[in-house]
Amino acid sequence: MTDDALDTLYRDVLLDHYRSPRHAEILPHPSATAKGYNPLCGDELELTLSVNGSGCVDAVGLRARGCCISVASASIMSEDIEGKPISWVKDYIVRVKAMLKGEGPAVESESGDLEALEGVKKFPVRIKCALLPWVTLELALRDGQKKRSEERRGGKGGRSR
Ligand code: ZN
C-alpha cells in the first residue's frame, strides 16, 4: 500500500493504534476466547473477553500481529466494546462489518477512531485485514455462549438468568 493510500485511511490515527495497541494483554481468566487468521496478509489475532453475569463485556485482552490495518482495527474494536452489553456488541459488529465492506453507512464510535477505518472499503485487498478482529469477535462471543450453556448444563446452579 502506498503512502498516498494510507493518507486517505487516516494515517495518523491508525499508526497510533498500530504502534501502541490498546488492551494488548491477554486476560488471565477469560470467559470467552477466539483466534483469527487472515491468510491473505498473514494477520493473526488472539482475543480474550471477560463477560460478567449481567452479560456485559467487562474486559478485553488481545494479541495482534500483522499489518497496520488489522492491528489498528483490533485496537479500536477493543476500545469500543469494553463495558458494553453483548446485545449491543452483536449489533455493532453487524454495522461495522457492513461499513468496512462498503455495504452500509459510516458507524460512529465512542473512541471516534472507527471512522479512520471507513476508507478501507476502497482497498479490497485490505478489507479482510480490517474485518479480521470483528470476525474473531463473533467467534469469541459464540465461544462464550457455549461455555455459559455448558456451565448451566453442568448443574452447578446459581447462575440462572
Ligand atoms: Zn493485513
Q: DSSP labels for 14-51?
A: HHHHHHS-TT-S--SS-SEEEEEEETTTTEEEEEEEEE
Look at residue 43 in the predicted model and tell me its pLDDT: 98
Q: Which triple of cell numbers denotes residue 155?
A: 448443574
Kindly report the pTM of this predicted structure. Answer: 0.89
Ligand 1 centroid–CA 70 distance in Å is 5
Ligand 1 centroid–CA 105 distance in Å is 23
Q: Is the pLDDT of residue 8 over 90?
A: no
Look at residue 12 in the predicted model and tell me its pLDDT: 87
Ligand 1 centroid–CA 103 distance in Å is 20
Ligand 1 centroid–CA 87 distance in Å is 28
Q: Is the pLDDT of residue 69 over 70?
A: yes
Look at residue 161 in the predicted model and tell me its pLDDT: 47
Ligand 1 centroid–CA 68 distance in Å is 7
- Side chain identity at residue 129, one-letter code: C
- Rounded Cα distance between 30 and 43, Å, is 22
Residues 36-60: tens digit of each pLDDT: 999 999 999 999 999 999 999 999 9
Q: DSSP labels for 102-132?
A: TSS-----SSS-GGGGGGGGG-HHHHHHHHH
Ligand 1 centroid–CA 71 distance in Å is 8
Beta bridge partners of 57: 51
Residues 72-83: tens digit of each pLDDT: 999 999 999 999
